[in-house]
Amino acid sequence: MANPSTASITQSDIARGLAALGLAKGHKVLVHSSLSSFGHVEGGADAVIGALLEAVGPHGTVLVPTLTGDETLSPARPPVFDPAQTPCWTGRIPETFRQRPGAVRSRHPTHSVAAIGAGALALTQDHLQSVTPCDARSPYGKLAQLPDGYILLLGVDHEASTMFHHIEEAVGVGYHMQPGFARATLYIDGETIHRHYMLHRYGPRRHFNAMEPVFIERGIQRAAHIGQSYARLVHAGRMCEVTRQCLAADPRILLFDK
């Protein structure tokens, strides 16, 4: 009998686990992930991606964060971004996903998202126009408005969830953005484009996991093991609504150092 700590997991195993968790055909889901959390996956990142696409079906959409911004960027050191070439730092699954045939990557210089599925273009196409990283035009803001929009955390916790930055922007917390504008350079379809953007401020240390007990209590989150990976599925719109209410009561509730 295989040792559970060394057993492999297959694409079919992951797809069944996602379905049992509640991810269903037609869902639009933003996935934050750790490939290593599964242990050994037969087929690696491509197998996880295949399972996600299988779970939501042809009418659903899978999105992953393909972030490129970091704490070194500022108005004095603005971002340079090529959506076709610039690698992301969000892990093996997103980096593999963005290069997959059929993937559409949003054209934001720091907080891009890649998507595959029926809603990929609609969810990503306006991100170039976003002055802030995660506003209402961004894939994060659009997902939050959908009745079938979800956040899936595979082997990571809420600290990895970029949707919280959309909520911070929507509420207008005072610690989230750097002052001033950065003149970003984007290489898009053979053209060089310059646009001004506000940049994320990395300094304040976030405590997004503080919201998990509330999500569980409100019935917003489901969780289960898929192989060795602990998975959380959260309804995006209800997550945003509850967190906005909490931020309205305490604007620093998402920070470690209050």
Q: Express each pLDDT in 117-140 by its tens digit.
A: 999 999 999 999 999 999 999 999
Orientation of helix 236-249 relative to helix 163-171, angle to 10°: 40
Banded model confidence at residue 1, pLDDT cuts 50, 70, 90: very low
Q: What distance in Å separates the CA atoms of residue 178 and residue 166, rounded to the nearest whole number?
A: 15
Average pLDDT over residues 237-255: 96
Rounded to a whole number of angstroms, the distance between the first and last alpha carbons of the chain is: 51
Return the minimum-mean-pLDDT range out of 40-49, 86-95, 153-162, 168-177: 168-177
| Residue 200 falls inside a structural domain | yes
Q: Are 23 and 55 in contact (CB under 8 A)?
A: yes
The verdict on residue 3 lying in a domain is no
Question: pLDDT tens across 184-236, in order?
Answer: 999 999 999 999 999 999 888 999 999 999 999 999 999 999 999 999 999 99
Full-model pTM: 0.95
The per-residue pLDDT for 136 is 97
Tell whether 1 is covered by a domain: no
How far apart are alpha carbons 170 and 242 in whole angstroms? 13
Mean pLDDT (the chain, rounded): 96
Residue 233's closest CA among 62, 45, 18, 48? 18
| Both tokens assigned to 138 | 């961004």
For residue range 54-111, what is the model confidence (pLDDT) as tens digits?
A: 999 999 999 999 999 999 999 999 999 999 999 999 999 999 999 999 999 999 999 9
Q: Residue 86: inside a domain, yes or no?
A: yes
242 residue type, one letter: V
Classify residue 232: in a domain, yes or no: yes
pLDDT, one tens digit per residue, over 31-62 is 999 999 999 999 999 999 999 999 999 999 99
The answer to whether position 19 is within a domain reads: yes
The number of folded domains in the chain is 1
Ramachandran category for residue 102: left, alpha or beta (phi over 0 → left; psi -120 to 50 → alpha): left
Return the pLDDT at 203.
Answer: 83
Query: Angle at the Cα of 83 (from 80 to 86), degrees rounded to 5?
Result: 60
C-alpha to C-alpha distance for 258 and 250, rounded to whole angstroms: 10
Q: What's the CA gap between 1 and 176, in Å, rounded?
A: 51
Find where tokens 């899978």 sit.
62
Percent of the chain with pLDDT over 70: 97
As a whole number of angstroms, the distance between CA 153 and CA 155 comes to 6
Q: Which of 13-17, 156-160, 204-208 is predicted least confidently?
A: 204-208
Domain boundaries, position 76: 8-249
The sign of the dihedral angle between the CA atoms of 254, 89, 200, 61 is: negative
Q: What is the pLDDT of residue 258?
A: 56
Residue 66 domain-assigned (yes or no): yes
Specify the pLDDT at position 183.
Answer: 98
